[in-house]
Amino acid sequence: MIATKSDTILSLLTLVGLDTEASYPALESLGDARYLRDLKINLGNVLNNNQNLSKKESLLLALSIAVNEKQQPLVDSLTTLAKAEGATDAEIAEILACTSLLSTNNVFYRFRHFVEKDYYNQTQPGIRMSIMMNPVLGKEFFELVSLAVSAVNGCELCVKSHEDSVLKHGASEARVFEAIRLAAVVKGFITLI
Q: What is the pLDDT of residue 1?
A: 37
Tally of domains within the chain:
1
Regions of the chain short of the pLDDT cut 50: 1-2
User: Which helix (H) or strand (E) covers residue 1, if one does?
Assistant: none
Residue 156 domain flag: yes
pTM of the model: 0.94
| Cβ neighbours for 14, distance < 8 A, ≥ 6 positions apart | 20
Amino acid at 8: T
pLDDT in tens, 89-118: 999 999 999 999 999 999 999 999 999 999
Q: What is the pLDDT of residue 3?
A: 54
Residue 13 domain flag: no
Residue 23 domain flag: no
Residue 67 domain flag: yes
Instruction: Collect contacts of 83-92 with beta carbons under 8 A, ≥24 apart.
Output: 85/54, 85/55, 85/56, 85/59, 86/56, 87/56, 87/59, 87/60, 88/136, 90/136, 91/60, 91/136, 91/137, 92/60, 92/63
Catalytic center residues: 155, 158
Residue 160 domain flag: yes
- Domain enclosing residue 152, as ranges: 52-190
Q: What is the pLDDT of residue 33?
A: 78
Q: Which CATH number covers residue 139?
A: 1.20.1290.10
